[in-house]
Amino acid sequence: MGEHDAKAATSFRKPTNDVSEEFSSNAVRLSGRHWTIATSIVVATLLLLPWAEQRMEPFQPSVDYRIPYVYSEDYWLYARYAKYASSRYPVAVIGDSVMWGHYVAPRATLPHFLNQEAGTDLFANLGLDGTRQVALTGLIKYYAGDISKHGVLLHLNPLWMSSPDADMSRQEGPADGERGVLSPLRKLLAREGQDEEQAVRLNHVPLVPQLFSRPYGYQPTFGEMAGVSIERHIPYFTWLRHMRMVYYENLGIESWSLSNPYSNPLGAITLKVRAPDDAPQGRPAPWFEGGVEQQDFPWVALDKSYQWRFLKEAVGILRARGNQVFVLLGPINTHLITEASSQTYSQLKGEMQVWLNAQGIPYYAPPPLASALYADASHPLRDGYVELARQLFQYQPFQDWLDEVGAHEKAVDAVAHRIRRSRSAATGRGPEHRPRLTSTYGQ
């Protein structure tokens, strides 16, 4: 018995602190091989899920397609349409709601009437509602890469420079240098300056700079900045935004499930993207019918304008990608602004033209349309777009630019040939007498 008691005592020895003993928990521990397998599964999921869903989700937009208003922040859909359009149309029309057509139906936008003037489908509507120039630059930079080496009709809307608030620039207080590197980083880490800059309402937050050169008043948290950066560079997360907007009422799955407790989240995925509404988003009526009085806009000087800075950056990005860029400058509704404000705008527009000429960028700065053709300070109504399209096709530099686009895009040699023919045939005659263009692009 003594020997048995001794063995029992030794079996319940007090643990030692021998550092040679390896500690482990009850969780599963992965070897290097297991980690490789797990990582491969995650990466495959990130890559294959968006690809598979895109293959199953039909997308055959018409020539007058525009991103649906309710999906304005669905950048996955925008990138998909940009890729689709790049294989079918030689020219992408890029701009804010003026190009998108806020006060008209899809078949009454500027791209529609440009195609009508051309007699063939050359122009795709890649406008996006609610994009200031800074957001439009982000859109081009991160989600419009597939239109490289195409013609781009880029709209420059000076209305975004009509006041410091619209321009999102700081006009008083610390110098512009505070937009640089150290100040945003210092404020982010120390949370300084919260009383100096009030939060602003900003459309298309994922498209604007997050750390350096942020819009005045925009104060993202570190988590928000990291989320935007990840979404820009990993398509899976842009696809998640698409799924949330299209199938889950722009809610996360958890929030959607709480709002729809008896619905199956998987059943919500119908693989059908909503078509654009065949109706204007705003009331299509002349601006003066609403009793609007003339406005005195406090225009921002170009050398202080935040939006102008990003217009120049957008042009640089497009040209670096081999795009043939043509800029449409305005037209602003000068009937709505005071004489003094109109004079300031004319000076500002002249400075923009000087820069465009210096850069060798073809452009058209149309005269103001008739007052009744505007819905507000910058949006034309249907007949206003008809007139703009007519003016563009009568403008010789625009014809020359289309010729260059035709020469640049090998698939549209027929377009370039017919454009050259149309010049001589249109001499002294309106566009209604001009030979119609035909395109073999994408065929």
C-alpha–C-alpha distance, residues 239 and 122, integer Å: 29
Dihedral class, residue 258 (left if φ above 0, else alpha if ψ from -120 to 50, else beta): alpha
Q: What is the pLDDT of residue 16?
A: 54
- The burial of 91, by beta-carbon neighbours within 10 Å (0-12 exposed, 13-18 middle, 19 or more buried), is given as buried
Domains along the chain? 59-433 (3.40.50.1110)
Q: What is the pLDDT of residue 26?
A: 56
Report the predicted TM-score, pTM, of the whole model to 2 decimal places. Answer: 0.78
Query: What count of other Cβ atoms lies within 10 Å of the Cβ of residue 362?
Result: 16
* pLDDT, mean of each 10-residue run, the chain (443 residues): 52 52 62 79 73 76 93 93 94 96 96 95 95 95 94 96 90 44 38 42 88 87 89 86 84 82 83 80 90 92 95 97 96 95 96 97 96 96 97 95 72 48 48 40 40
Q: What is the pLDDT of residue 440?
A: 37
The residue type of 263 is S
Q: How is residue 206 written in tokens? A: 């994922």
Q: What is the pLDDT of residue 199?
A: 46
Nearest residue to 331 via CA among 136, 175, 105, 98: 98
Nearest residue to 386 via CA among 429, 347, 426, 431: 431
- Residue 328, classed as helix, strand or coil, is strand
Instruction: List residues bridging with 119 in a β-sheet.
Output: none
The residue type of 432 is E
